[in-house]
Amino acid sequence: MASAKALAASRGIPVVGVGTLDALAAGISEADDTRRQRLAVLDARRGEAFASLHGADGSRVWGPWVGPPEDLTGRLSGLDEAPLAAGSGALRFRDELASCGVEVIDETDGAHRVAGRHVCRLAAAGETVEPLAPIYLRPPDAERWRERDTAKRNQ
Protein backbone atom coordinates (compact mmCIF):
# COMPACT_ATOMS: atom_id res chain seq x y z
CA MET A 1 0.00 0.00 0.00
CA ALA A 2 2.89 2.33 0.71
CA SER A 3 4.15 1.82 -2.83
CA ALA A 4 0.71 2.51 -4.29
CA LYS A 5 0.41 5.68 -2.21
CA ALA A 6 3.87 6.86 -3.27
CA LEU A 7 3.26 6.18 -6.97
CA ALA A 8 -0.12 7.92 -6.82
CA ALA A 9 1.35 10.93 -5.03
CA SER A 10 4.20 11.23 -7.53
CA ARG A 11 1.75 11.18 -10.45
CA GLY A 12 -0.83 13.38 -8.75
CA ILE A 13 -3.58 10.79 -9.11
CA PRO A 14 -5.96 9.38 -6.50
CA VAL A 15 -5.44 5.95 -5.01
CA VAL A 16 -8.44 3.77 -4.27
CA GLY A 17 -8.68 0.78 -1.94
CA VAL A 18 -10.78 -2.19 -2.99
CA GLY A 19 -11.40 -5.10 -0.64
CA THR A 20 -10.73 -8.62 -1.87
CA LEU A 21 -14.09 -9.86 -0.58
CA ASP A 22 -15.87 -6.98 -2.35
CA ALA A 23 -14.16 -7.87 -5.64
CA LEU A 24 -15.02 -11.54 -5.18
CA ALA A 25 -18.67 -10.67 -4.54
CA ALA A 26 -18.73 -8.54 -7.69
CA GLY A 27 -17.79 -11.62 -9.70
CA ILE A 28 -20.56 -13.79 -8.30
CA SER A 29 -23.19 -11.92 -10.31
CA GLU A 30 -21.46 -12.97 -13.54
CA ALA A 31 -21.88 -16.62 -12.61
CA ASP A 32 -25.55 -16.27 -11.70
CA ASP A 33 -27.69 -13.27 -12.55
CA THR A 34 -30.63 -14.20 -10.32
CA ARG A 35 -31.11 -11.17 -8.13
CA ARG A 36 -30.19 -12.58 -4.73
CA GLN A 37 -27.64 -11.97 -2.02
CA ARG A 38 -24.03 -12.97 -2.57
CA LEU A 39 -21.66 -14.42 -0.02
CA ALA A 40 -17.94 -14.00 -0.66
CA VAL A 41 -15.93 -16.51 1.39
CA LEU A 42 -12.16 -16.93 1.43
CA ASP A 43 -10.25 -19.67 3.23
CA ALA A 44 -8.54 -17.87 6.13
CA ARG A 45 -6.61 -21.02 7.11
CA ARG A 46 -6.55 -22.16 10.76
CA GLY A 47 -10.03 -23.60 10.23
CA GLU A 48 -11.53 -20.15 9.69
CA ALA A 49 -13.11 -18.20 6.87
CA PHE A 50 -13.08 -14.56 5.80
CA ALA A 51 -16.57 -13.59 4.62
CA SER A 52 -18.81 -10.71 3.61
CA LEU A 53 -22.43 -10.68 2.56
CA HIS A 54 -23.56 -8.46 -0.30
CA GLY A 55 -27.04 -7.57 -1.48
CA ALA A 56 -28.37 -8.35 -4.94
CA ASP A 57 -27.36 -4.82 -5.94
CA GLY A 58 -23.76 -5.43 -4.83
CA SER A 59 -23.89 -3.29 -1.68
CA ARG A 60 -22.22 -4.75 1.38
CA VAL A 61 -24.73 -6.00 3.96
CA TRP A 62 -22.07 -7.05 6.50
CA GLY A 63 -18.40 -7.86 6.69
CA PRO A 64 -15.57 -8.25 6.34
CA TRP A 65 -15.77 -10.92 9.03
CA VAL A 66 -13.49 -13.75 10.20
CA GLY A 67 -14.33 -16.85 12.20
CA PRO A 68 -14.95 -20.58 12.17
CA PRO A 69 -17.45 -21.99 9.67
CA GLU A 70 -19.95 -22.92 12.39
CA ASP A 71 -20.14 -19.26 13.48
CA LEU A 72 -20.63 -18.25 9.86
CA THR A 73 -23.47 -20.72 9.36
CA GLY A 74 -25.06 -19.47 12.58
CA ARG A 75 -24.95 -15.96 11.21
CA LEU A 76 -26.41 -17.07 7.87
CA SER A 77 -29.19 -19.23 9.29
CA GLY A 78 -31.17 -16.14 10.27
CA LEU A 79 -31.41 -14.82 6.71
CA ASP A 80 -34.76 -14.77 4.90
CA GLU A 81 -33.14 -16.10 1.72
CA ALA A 82 -29.99 -18.19 1.39
CA PRO A 83 -27.26 -16.42 -0.58
CA LEU A 84 -25.18 -17.68 -3.47
CA ALA A 85 -21.57 -18.24 -2.37
CA ALA A 86 -18.17 -18.34 -4.06
CA GLY A 87 -14.51 -18.25 -3.10
CA SER A 88 -11.87 -20.61 -1.75
CA GLY A 89 -13.63 -20.69 1.63
CA ALA A 90 -16.97 -21.51 0.03
CA LEU A 91 -15.32 -24.54 -1.60
CA ARG A 92 -13.52 -25.62 1.57
CA PHE A 93 -16.58 -25.20 3.80
CA ARG A 94 -19.17 -26.25 1.20
CA ASP A 95 -20.82 -28.83 3.48
CA GLU A 96 -21.14 -26.41 6.39
CA LEU A 97 -22.63 -23.73 4.14
CA ALA A 98 -25.04 -26.20 2.53
CA SER A 99 -26.34 -27.12 5.99
CA CYS A 100 -27.98 -23.68 6.22
CA GLY A 101 -29.20 -23.60 2.62
CA VAL A 102 -26.35 -21.65 1.02
CA GLU A 103 -25.73 -22.61 -2.61
CA VAL A 104 -22.07 -22.74 -3.61
CA ILE A 105 -21.28 -22.06 -7.26
CA ASP A 106 -19.83 -25.02 -9.20
CA GLU A 107 -16.15 -25.46 -8.35
CA THR A 108 -15.07 -25.11 -12.00
CA ASP A 109 -16.58 -21.62 -12.27
CA GLY A 110 -14.20 -18.66 -12.42
CA ALA A 111 -16.28 -16.83 -9.80
CA HIS A 112 -14.18 -18.50 -7.10
CA ARG A 113 -11.18 -16.34 -8.08
CA VAL A 114 -10.78 -12.60 -7.70
CA ALA A 115 -10.59 -11.04 -11.16
CA GLY A 116 -8.73 -7.84 -11.96
CA ARG A 117 -11.70 -6.52 -13.93
CA HIS A 118 -13.84 -6.57 -10.79
CA VAL A 119 -11.19 -4.72 -8.79
CA CYS A 120 -10.93 -2.12 -11.57
CA ARG A 121 -14.71 -1.74 -11.88
CA LEU A 122 -15.10 -1.18 -8.13
CA ALA A 123 -12.20 1.27 -8.08
CA ALA A 124 -13.65 3.22 -11.00
CA ALA A 125 -17.01 3.34 -9.23
CA GLY A 126 -15.30 4.88 -6.21
CA GLU A 127 -15.82 1.92 -3.86
CA THR A 128 -13.08 3.01 -1.48
CA VAL A 129 -11.66 2.15 1.89
CA GLU A 130 -10.93 5.49 3.56
CA PRO A 131 -8.22 6.14 4.45
CA LEU A 132 -6.30 3.64 2.37
CA ALA A 133 -5.19 1.19 5.02
CA PRO A 134 -5.13 -2.56 5.50
CA ILE A 135 -8.02 -4.21 7.30
CA TYR A 136 -6.76 -6.64 9.93
CA LEU A 137 -9.46 -9.05 11.05
CA ARG A 138 -7.38 -11.05 13.51
CA PRO A 139 -4.20 -10.52 15.50
CA PRO A 140 -0.84 -11.29 13.90
CA ASP A 141 0.62 -14.78 14.36
CA ALA A 142 3.51 -13.39 16.41
CA GLU A 143 1.06 -12.01 18.98
CA ARG A 144 -0.82 -15.31 19.18
CA TRP A 145 2.43 -17.25 19.60
CA ARG A 146 3.59 -14.88 22.37
CA GLU A 147 0.30 -15.40 24.24
CA ARG A 148 0.55 -19.17 23.79
CA ASP A 149 4.17 -19.27 24.99
CA THR A 150 3.40 -17.01 27.96
CA ALA A 151 0.52 -19.26 28.97
CA LYS A 152 2.79 -22.33 28.78
CA ARG A 153 5.43 -20.67 31.01
CA ASN A 154 2.79 -19.73 33.58
CA GLN A 155 1.53 -23.32 33.95
Domain ranges of the chain: 15-153
Any alpha helices (H) in the chain, and if so which ranges? 2-11, 20-31, 69-76, 88-92, 94-98, 116-124, 141-153
Q: How many CB atoms lie within 10 A of CB 48?
A: 20
Dihedral of alpha carbons 25, 140, 1, 133, sign: positive
Under 8 Å between Cβ of 26 and 122: yes
Q: By three-state DSSP, how is residue 104 classified?
A: strand
Q: Looking at the domain covering 15-153, what would its CATH class be?
A: alpha beta
**How far apart, in Å, are the Cα atoms of 36 and each of 80, 100, 117?**
11, 16, 22
pLDDT digits (tens, 9 = 90+) for 78-135: 888 899 999 999 999 999 999 999 999 999 999 999 999 998 888 888 755 556 778 8
Check whether 11 has a pLDDT greater than 70.
Answer: yes
pLDDT digits (tens, 9 = 90+) for 25-72: 999 988 777 778 999 999 999 999 999 999 988 889 998 999 999 999
From the list 149, 127, 99, the residue with the least C-alpha distance to 19 is 127
Phi/psi of residue 43, each to 5°? -75, 115
Give the pLDDT of residue 85: 96
Q: By three-state DSSP, how is residue 65 classified?
A: strand
